[in-house]
Copies of this chain bind each other. A is one copy, B any other.
Amino acid sequence: MIMRIWRRLPAVRLFAPAGHPYHASMSELAHSTPRADGFAMPAEWAPQAQVWMAWPERPDNWRLGGVPAQHAFAHVANAIADHEPVTVGVSHRQYEHARRLLVPRVRLVELTTNDAWMRDIGPTFVRHEGGEVRAVDWIFNAWGGLHGGLYFPWDADDLAAAKIADLERVTRYRAPLVLEGGSIHVDGEGSCLTTEECLLNPNRNPSLNRADIEQHLRDYLGVSTVLWLGAGVCNDETDGHIDNLCCFLRPGVVALAWTDDASDPQSAISRDAYRRLRAMHDARGRQLEIVKLPIPAVPVAMTDEEAREVAHGAGTFARPGGFRLAASYVNFLIVNGAVIVPEFGDANDARAASILAEQFPDRVIRQVPGREILYGGGNVHCITQQQPAGV
């Protein structure tokens, strides 16, 4: 049914050909690359200026008109705001409602989006050692465009990074690559973690091979080494985003979503990732230390009733009741002085928090309700985008 809608629109609007930035006329577009200009993406634990989020509104993805998700997102924003500035983008229609749910120190700005996954639609910020911060604006196609993408259209989401860069008055690079921020993680020392399931998926950049994509990652993230895992978390709708499976905790150390239950479909995925990670060396030549983070003990799914509370329509991904969602504690966000971790009301909530507390001795572990966010297809890391501290 998505194909039916698609035929109404001219093809050129949906995929920008590589090398032809879609928003070429927009402000302060740098025609070079971050790497050439001396910029690189800092690690998430580097000092941050603020965190960006967007407001969940679409009733065909979020149950009950989005209200439970709005409370969950506000919980995340308000928690982060205890530690650093937060800006939330919201439509005009929901502006006053969002303002009431967010604490006053959260900045609210108008930002029309198709959905609310700031990690994937927002800019990836890169930083020069001199302190200047710039924005990388990837091409966004809703996790696969017309070949497995999650909704249609995605035009507003593809504009979001440019709008944010302009609002923040930072120079923007339009990268000639379909990519979501959730599909990459960096250690700030030259390494980038990603998955083949996502980055090599023909529904992203069918004309680019692995070497081409690695080169774009080097150019736009300022990294030297790309570390490839295979598949993402079981049933992950994003085609296996790395940020739900594995992330850096600090240089040389990663967290990996894990289960010891060999009968769980996640088991083989995690074991494959483990084997690959053990065999890797990062950009500095280190062998990686792997910290296993359990997945929830009980698979997380919507009930039939909850599933019926989503106003499904053509052009959105339907999650039936009982369908196992890609719940993962790896989907946390590091902020200044804290780590924001989803909880699911599961026996492993406490275990995950305690492992992370050990790994981040200098940060507070803040657990926030992650179930409603997961119902929409992601979690804390997916709905946030850190902007590193600048000069």
Which residues of chain A have a CB within 8 Å of any CB of chain B? 23, 25-29, 92, 95-96, 99-100, 104-112, 156, 159, 163, 166-167, 169
Contacts and interface: CB of A to CB of B under 8 A. Distances in A.
Contacts of A28: 104-105
Given A27-B99, A92-B112, A99-B27, A107 B167 contact: yes
Contacts of A23: 96, 99
Most buried by B among A28, A111, A112: A112
Number of copies: 2
Nearest to A169: B107
A350 B187 CA distance: 63
A118 to B, nearest CB: 15
A23 B159 CA distance: 29
A170 to B, nearest CB: 11
Given A25-B99, A99-B26, A109 B109 contact: yes
A27 B88 CA distance: 13
Contacts of A29: 104
A104 B26 contact: yes
A364 B105 CA distance: 41
Contacts of A111: 110
Contacts of A99: 23, 25-27
Given A110-B109, A110-B111, A110-B112, A95 B163 contact: yes
B107 A166 contact: yes
A282 B29 CA distance: 49
